[in-house]
Amino acid sequence: MEAQRTRSQEQILQLLGKLGREISAQALYVELRHHRQGVGLATVYRSLEALKLGGVVQARTLANGEAVYSLVQEDKHHLTCLQCGASVPIDACPVHELEAQLQTSKRFRIYYHTLEFFGLCSLCEHQHLAGA
Amino acid sequence: MEAQRTRSQEQILQLLGKLGREISAQALYVELRHHRQGVGLATVYRSLEALKLGGVVQARTLANGEAVYSLVQEDKHHLTCLQCGASVPIDACPVHELEAQLQTSKRFRIYYHTLEFFGLCSLCEHQHLAGA
DNA sequence: GTTATTGCAAACAATTTGCACCCAC
DNA sequence: GTGGGTGCAAATTGTTTGCAATAAC
C-alpha cells in the first residue's frame, strides 16, 4: 500500500535527490521555477508535508525559524553557534541503538531523528566574554 | 565577567525555574502578565534570546513551528508523531560523550543539545497504511 | 465524469524592529 | 545626565488555507 506520488512530489523528490543537501521550502520553490516552470509555493509545502509523512523526507528548523528539508539520511547533524549562526557538520551519531530500542519499546515507527548542538564558537565566545 | 541580568530576565528566569517545563514565548508572556504585570512581548523575546546566549536557557522548535524554552537541562528529549503531533518523553540520552569530544575537537563552547525522533505513532501508522 | 491536485492570493501566527519613554547608575 | 532596557504597535516572514481551475484515471 505504498502512497503513489503526485507530479509535484516527484519533481521535488528528484530535485532533493540531485541537490543532496538541505534546502528551505522557499528556496526549493525558486529552484523548481528555474527548471521546469509551474509549481506553486503552497504545493511545495503540501508536497513536503506529504513526503515527510511518507518517510522519505526529513525536516529540521534552523535557528532563524525556517525549516529545511532533505531526503531522509542518517547522521547529518550539526553544531551551531547561537551568536553568529555558524554551523559545522558532525560525523558521529551515537543514537542508532537508542532509536532501535525506542522503535520497539515505544511502539513508534521512527522515520528519522534530529540531533543539534548549540553553543558559542570560539570567536563569538571571546566577543561575548569581552562584553561586545 | 558574568552578564548581569535585567529585571525582565530575572523574572523570566524565575518563572522558568518555577515551571520546570518548556513553555512558548507567547505563553510565558501571558503567564508573566498574570503574576506581576508589565512585561512586553518583545521584551520576553529579547530576554529569552539573551538568556540563551548566556547559556542558561535552551530552546527547541515544535512541529507547529513555535519555539519553546526552558532552563538548560540535559536529557529531556522527545519522540514525536509527524501526523498527530503526540510527543512522548525519552529517558535515555547517549550523546554526552560525543558532546564532550566535540567541545574540544571543534573548539565550541557547547551549551545544550536537542535530540528529537520523528515518525508515526502506532495509531497513526495504521490510519496511514489504511490510506485515511 | 468524478476526484484529487494545483496555483494564486488572502489569511495567519510567531517573531522582530522602530521608536519614544523610563529606569538605573 | 547618559545609556541601556522596555513597551507598544507596526512591519516582516515563513507557512497555511479557501477556492476556482486543472489534471489524473
Tell me, what CATH number does A50's domain have?
1.10.10.10
B105-128 mean pLDDT: 92
Name the average pLDDT for chain A.
Answer: 91
- Nearest C-alpha neighbor of A67 from the set A84, A51, A54, A48: A48
The pLDDT confidence band at residue A105, using thresholds 50, 70 and 90, is very high
Same domain assignment for residues B61 and B112 = no
pLDDT of res. B73: 86
Query: For position A109, which CATH number holds?
Result: 3.30.1490.190
Cell of A19: 541537490
Q: Residues of B marked as binding for Fe cation?
A: 113
The pLDDT confidence band at residue B1, using thresholds 50, 70 and 90, is very low
Task: Suggest the residue from A95, A101, A107 to mutate for an interface test with chain B (most B CBs closer than 10 A).
Answer: A95
A106-130: b (≥16 Cβ within 10 Å) or e: bebbbbbbbbbbbbbbeebbeebee
Q: pLDDT digits over B40-75, tens only?
A: 999 999 999 999 999 999 999 998 899 999 999 878
H or E stretch at B115: strand B108-121
> Any alpha helices (H) in B20-121, and if so which ranges?
25-34, 41-53, 96-105
Same domain assignment for residues B101 and B88 = yes
Same domain assignment for residues B58 and B79 = no
The pLDDT confidence band at residue A37, using thresholds 50, 70 and 90, is low
B99-123 mean pLDDT: 94
Same domain assignment for residues A82 and A64 = no
Cell of B81: 508523531
Distance CA B77, CA B92 (A): 8
The pLDDT confidence band at residue A44, using thresholds 50, 70 and 90, is very high
- Nearest C-alpha neighbor of A16 from the set A73, A77, A99, A84: A73
- Domain stop point among B58, B73, B88: B73
The phi, psi pair for A94, rounded to 5°, reads: -95, 30
Q: pLDDT digits over A67-86, tens only?
A: 999 999 878 899 999 999 88
The structural domain count of chain A equals 2
Same domain assignment for residues B6 and B64 = yes
Same domain assignment for residues A95 and A46 = no
Q: Which residues of A touch B117 (CB under 8 A)?
A: 99, 102, 108, 110, 112-113
pLDDT of res. B3: 60
Residue B55 in contact with partner chain A when CB distance is under 8 A: yes
Same domain assignment for residues A52 and A113 = no
Residue B114 in contact with partner chain A when CB distance is under 8 A: yes
Same domain assignment for residues A60 and A81 = no
Distance CA A119, CA B30 (A): 28
Over 60: is that where the pLDDT of A132 sits?
no
% of residues, chain A, pLDDT over 70 = 93
B104-119 mean pLDDT: 94
Name the average pLDDT for chain B.
Answer: 91
Same domain assignment for residues B83 and B62 = no
- Domain stop point among B50, B73, B96: B73
Over 80: is that where the pLDDT of A20 sits?
yes
pLDDT of res. A75: 82
Give the nucleotide at minimum CA-to-C1' distance from A41.
C7
- Nearest C-alpha neighbor of B117 from the set A17, B91, A13, A80: B91
Its domain, for residue A31, covers 1-73
B102-129 mean pLDDT: 91
Same domain assignment for residues A1 and A59 = yes
Over 50: is that where the pLDDT of A130 sits?
yes
> Within a 10 A sphere around the Cβ of A25, how many other Cβ atoms?
19
The phi, psi pair for B107, rounded to 5°, reads: 55, 45
pLDDT of res. A1: 42
- Domain stop point among A73, A88, A117: A73
Residue B66, CB, less than 7 Å from strand C? yes
Over 90: is that where the pLDDT of A12 sits?
yes
Place of cell 528555474: A34
% of residues, chain B, pLDDT over 70 = 93
The phi-psi region of residue A52 (left if phi > 0; otherwise alpha if psi is between -120 and 50; otherwise beta) is: alpha
pLDDT of res. B132: 52
CB-based contact A92:B98 (threshold 8 Å): yes
Same domain assignment for residues A62 and A81 = no
Kindly give, in sequence order, each residue whose CB lies less than 8 Å from that of residue B5, ignoring residues fewer than 6 positions away: B13, B50, B51, B54
CB-based contact A60:A111 (threshold 8 Å): no
Same domain assignment for residues B65 and B11 = yes
Cell of A119: 553553543
Using H for helix, E for strand and C for coil, what is the string for chain A? CCCCCCHHHHHHHHHHHHHCCCEEHHHHHHHHHHCCCCCCHHHHHHHHHHHHHCCCEEEEECCCCCEEEEECCCCCEEEEECCCCCEEEECCCCCHHHHHHHHHHCCEEEEEEEEEEEEEEHHHHHHHHCCC
